[in-house]
Structure 1
Amino acid sequence: MTDPLSEAIARVHREEWARVVAGLARRFGDLDVAEEAAAEAFAAAVERWPRDGIPPNPGGWLVTTATRRAIDRLRRESRRDAKHQAALMLHDDTPPEPTGPVEDDRLRLVFTCCHPALAMEARVALTLRMLGGLSVADIARAFLVQETTMAQRITRAKGKIRAASIPYRVPSAADVRERLAGVLAVLYLVFNEGYLAGVGEDPVRVDLSDEAIRLARLLRTLLPQDGEVAGLLALMLLTDARRPARFSATGELVTLAEQDRGAWDAELVREGLAIVRERAVVVATGGERPGRYQLLAAISAVHTGAPSAGDTDWAQVVSLYDRLLDLDPSPIVRLNRAVAVAETDGPEAGLAEVDAIADRLDGYHPLHATRADLLRRLGRAGEARAAYDRAIGLTGNVAEKTYLARRRDQTR
């Protein structure tokens, strides 16, 4: 059992990592320096706090300690004279250069990591590492690649930012568009990792999902007319509204069909549905065609707006996925559509859709979990249990493992 002090230090790490790293990145303009100094500060906390106690302001303690570690490192590296001068900022009263239209270190960090000079995969991976504090192994699992491959990708991205002298700021209105797609993709992946953590004892990381929503709200303030920004925010709100009903008293995952809808956060549901309706009016009156996040938000609204799972308009869900496939013909979208097809046309039709993409998603546990459920519904118990075993082996989420194991054991 984890002792209370270790739990408290782990909680501070979740709550303060992004703030510390982003602040250091703004001050020193170097992501390696920021990440390593933050890691050293947290290591010092693990060593000192059990002896000295947790300070009254743990975030401030971490920032001060990390800043000192960064300055010490830069002073040791005499070949980096420019960075050495940056360290003197600690004693410099000169007003800093403007950092962009939003005074938020973490949002600036997201935009820095999502510079168009980087490949999209690198933008997403780097931001998950720098903002979310996810391990390289966690990020590699999210991308379905080897850990060594992901480590190289992140290292190259940092190097490219350093070599290109990419400024640490929110870009101007003139170039914000070319970074926006990457920023939205990053926030969605950060949210998803928080909503159903890929690894660890905690089934959720509320700090990550809350931070993604906070940054999406800031983005909407920056770009109030952008449909995809609004769509992503609505999608996050409608999904997060279900959080209180997603786990049983014993910590097992509860599927959408089995959730107590009365336990959902009614305020988040209202806000999310209002944004979806607002965007629908814009589209209906000749506005831009809905993009990926607006369509995903509309799908979530169909689920969330139904009084019960049995009242879900599955035909509308299939129709929305058809439109989404036109924009994003990925196997994951096809997998999600297959779930809806199973509800409209039966489990055999859904299984045919799943099997058609199985070889492309063999390492993706939701595919095997979906396949197991459809096989169970078709009475093919042996195959279903094998698929459950495969899904259990691929997921690192304890709550999900427990749910899948129970379903497997009930399949006869």
Structure 2
Amino acid sequence: MKKFVLIAAALGIAAAAAIALAWPRDQFIPASSPAAWAATPANIARGAYLARAGDCMACHTARGGVEYAGGRAIETPFGRMVAPNITPDSATGIGAWSADDFWNALHNGKSRDGRLLYPAFPYTNYTQVTRADSDALYAFMRSVPAHQRASEPHQLRFPYNQQLALAGWRLLYFKPAVFEPQPSRSAEWNRGAYLVEGLGHCAACHSSRNTLGAPSGALAGGLIPVIGWYAPSLTSDAEAGLGKWQVAEIVQLLQTGVSPRATVVGPMAEVVQQSLQHLSEPDLGAMAVYLKSLPHTPVDKPAIVVGAEHEQVIAQGKRLYETHCIDCHGADGKGLPPHYPPLAGNRAVTMDSPVNAIRSVMNGGFAPGTAGNPRPYGMPPFSHVLNDQEAASLVTYLRSSWGNQAAPVSSREVNRYRAVPLD
């Protein structure tokens, strides 16, 4: 018995030592000087630009609320999270934070008091941000009007509400590291990679997540939890792969929300409206160069096997299309881009997951209002006109016409995505 206890103790010590060795160390990089985060016009302007690139306002501003004062709820599979106040209020915001504290949150995912932050705040991407950019962001955040608003507590289920569980998650999935340029790539490519992988945190949406919420398959697409939109793969020609696009077309889409090839709707419309349209053309061009360079998989769709009733579904879908859709999208499905996007060859229509097509038909499709497209055309919702079976027939018709080849859609799928989650 004594021998067993000694062996167990030894194994416990070995396991603890292994964990200690593997545990992600905080990484500290000092500011170049206090001038880097001083409240100068240049630092504040640069920080404001970087805040746009990181789309900080999207989470840290409630609908109709004070900018950066927090309060916006984020529903997750693990419970409800509420973005905190990051205005410079000393009592309820980050007014008492130093530039080092701010850097520690972005880079190491730790709050000023040492608490581990949840990765809904995408420090797993922001860790790549340079100290110089962090200091400029800090200077800007110190310049916004302070607003007193106590941050609401998260409402997470056990064990996800435990710091120990979060520590284990970080051990498995997080290691702080500043972006390292690749010498073999151009300066433009590296700038694009820095924006896409770091500040832009594109992988936060455009990647699938495992059962613990960790991203997997970087930029390979994934269903955004709870809100019911699919962020398409940026590496697949069957989804949103951009390898065959021209750089100018990608820039146009990111800057205005529309292009001859595609129109952004859903969560991506908000990203374009609040973030991407405000970036410089060189930065958008750099992002386009990087996105075009991603490895991409060619389209290889197998033949769709359908039952005898498929023709009846198609016939009903065609009648509904001719009643509700043909005036804008045309009998040939080619539309009038960019305002009435084509449905023929539209990858948003033919992706394996039909969720975005269903959501657009049910809830409408609305491009963002941008400086380059100030009066966007929108598609009205049809959820009040079509029942689940009719909507399924219509979407099935879209996925089977004008050379499109994708699996039929069921009324159950329509019903699942009919409702719009409330913010």
TM-score band w.r.t. shorter chain: under 0.3
Structure having the higher strand fraction is 2
Q: Give TM-score, length-normalised by structure 1.
A: 0.27
User: What TM-score results when the alignment is normalised by the length of structure 2?
Assistant: 0.27
Q: Which has the higher contact order (CA 8 A, sep 6+)?
A: 2
Which protein has the larger Cα radius of gyration, Structure 1 or Structure 2?
A: 2
The structure with the greater share of residues assigned to helix is: 1
